[in-house]
A = this chain, B = another copy of it.
Amino acid sequence: MKRGLLLIISGPAGSGKGTVIKELMENSDEFVYSVSATTRKPRPSDVEGVSYYFVSREEFEDKIARGEMLEYAEYVDNFYGTPKAPVVAALEAGKNVILEIETKGALAVMEKMPEAVSVMLLPPSGKVLRRRLERRGTETADVIEKRMQTAINEVEMLKYYDYLVINDEDAQSKAADDIRAIIKAEKLSAKRNAEFIDNYFV
């Protein structure tokens, strides 16, 4: 069984991550979406192991202490993070694991799993990004400004990523195609195939 690829996908609000990931997952059973763990209480619509893995604060802290979290953060008194075990299990089963995560968490994962392939997804320009945020119509001007500032900080982090994929709404499936090409190419990388060569002439 050839090991799957760990695919980190980051992108600011308005980058269309959700749509692109949905398209990747709908068109192939080679993908598994990494489910986060959290200490927040489940809501009626939540499904354990789908929305989140729901764990107690004590369990979460134990996992951190044992190095079982690839990354984590605390928001509004609750922990959120990526447990390592299900990611590794899926990779070993040959699945590509999609980790949708903001830049800070992404950097933590890159450090713990250097084999990860990281993609930053962006709209074609900052102008389009702003337009997408404004179009939602649900946010105040203040919130939009804050999101734009966050986006500016996130885009700065591109230098730590492997790939940049542009998500143009006028060519929706192109971004998914680009990511499929990235996965194909990464699986052909010489460093991922060093073992193949060891037995080439036997």
Contacts and interface: CB of A to CB of B under 8 A. Distances in A.
A164 interface: yes
Counting every copy of the chain, the complex holds 2
Interface in A173-194: 178, 180-182, 184-186, 188-190, 193-194
Nearest to A156: B197
A189 B163 contact: yes
Contacts of A202: 126
B190 A159 contact: yes
Interface SS of chain A: helix
A196 interface: yes
A165 B187 CA distance: 10
Interface residues of A, number: 30
B158 A201 contact: no
Contact of A164 (B152, B196, B201): B196
Interface in A118-166: 120, 122, 125-126, 152, 155, 158-159, 161-165
Contacts of A75: none
A45 B193 CA distance: 41
A43 to B, nearest CB: 36
Interface of A: 120, 122, 125-126, 152, 155, 158-159, 161-165, 178, 180-182, 184-186, 188-190, 193-194, 196-197, 200-202
29 contacts: A125-B200, A126-B200, A126-B201, A126-B202, A152-B201, A155-B197, A155-B200, A155-B201, A158-B193, A158-B197, A159-B190, A159-B194, A161-B190, A162-B189, A163-B188, A163-B190, A164-B188, A164-B189, A164-B190, A164-B193, A165-B188, A178-B188, A180-B181, A181-B181, A182-B184, A182-B185, A184-B185, A185-B185, A185-B186
